Amino acid sequence: MSEQTESETPFTPVGPANMLKPGESAIIEIEDDSIVLVHLHDGYYALENRCSHDNGPLGQGRLVGFEIDCPRHGAKFDVRDGAAKSLPAFRPVASFPVRYNEDTDEIEIQYKKPEPQAFEDPRGFNFNFT
């Protein structure tokens, strides 16, 4: 069986278009995985709810502009693409495409289980997380 390509990955409805006001976020579950859904003035964004530093619950963090901070040690991530914006995190978190379905008036996420990330230690000790 071949792997699903990005364009074949289905969108999963997660709730009505007005489920969050701009500036709000929520933690939702897709395929038993925890996702942070964020509504900003320019649209919805979705990230995995697991900090790349040490698995902190990003969805419990503070949202400021386009950044969400991890409640455990304060790393910041860009909600638009999951990029790490401050230490102690330096690896991104997975982000997922979000769309509005006019026919159903629902928000949908194109969720694909993130691949395990290789850890690249600046000192040369490298590991694979699974």
The footprint of ligand FES (CB under 6 A) covers 51, 53-54, 56, 70, 72-75, 88-89
- Give min distance, CB of 55 to ligand FES, in A: 6
- DSSP code at position 9: S
- Give min distance, CB of 92 to ligand FES, in A: 13
Return the number of the residue (73 or 85) whose C-beta is nearest ligand FES: 73
- Give min distance, CB of 87 to ligand FES, in A: 8
Return the number of the residue (72 or 85) whose C-beta is nearest ligand FES: 72
Distance CA 5, CA 27 (A): 26
Distance CA 90, CA 28 (A): 25
Distance CA 81, CA 7 (A): 18
Comparing CA positions, the residue from 61, 67, 23 lying closest to residue 42 is 23
